[in-house]
Structure 1
């Protein structure tokens, strides 16, 4: 019995040290390394018998994802898992709507850092099915990796999206920027307006 207790204490110290030295500063917020060390038997059990996401349907996806997150030992892990799932949802959502502009995508990226992200957007059936297929069969580590990959792809899509939905919005944006720089009462010359039109893809106006 003493040998088992000694082994438990020894492994707890090893796991605690490993957690401290392998966790980046960004991911260390809210992570209790000491508790993780003490709970290593639970972590080992979860590693061997960890549940997987069932993407057979969107309902089964939501249910199995909740079970997967609840199986984690710490709130930190549960948060990371929820955000990873959000990133996969965000990627599918942005990919399905080519009309989203770069600022709109950026706003969605910010919202995706909230664990209730799915309730803040309207998720179409096509997007639900896509997310279910992408997450089907993943364990926790697979979910985290899928989230990281999805985030990178979303940012690449964002770079290819226009700043404005229409050319007229583009001109209005340039006018606002012009007046923010020179003052709200600044007059815009005709040739300046023509330049704005050209930048935004509108034809030059002829007198």
Structure 2
């Protein structure tokens, strides 16, 4: 067991639930460590998706690509985020999105079968995972509504206020794609 990763994960879990040492050790045993390099795919469209992942370190992007090659970024996943193609994961279908690493990343993966076993054994993990999925749903709903009704200026200001570290970690082209604007428009926004 990597004690630094285990400690980070325990602190993450204990934001919402309390655990004994024995419970944590058993829960941690259900997760598999995965290390990926920058530009490596975690999930690729058409893949089977057998795991959901908690981001220990690194930065990933979740996106879809149109037939014409245009990329639509759904979200970025940094430390303490949970990522997967959840439709494919829960429905045993092929992935319809891509998730790849913007930075070298360390993740803890949980298979669907292990998730079910873990939740049966520890009902508090059901509560934890439900709260996390609800928070993820809320974040995506806010993002979708923002893309539909907010001005580019507002979307830019919201990104700065809610995720200021992303501006240090992401290339401007990805920030522009996330906001749905050109690189030139992003530069104009940044000068204001």
TM-score band by shorter chain is under 0.3
Q: Which has the higher strand share?
A: 2
Q: Indicate the structure with greater helix content.
A: 1
TM-score by length of 1: 0.26
Q: TM-score, normalised by structure 2?
A: 0.28
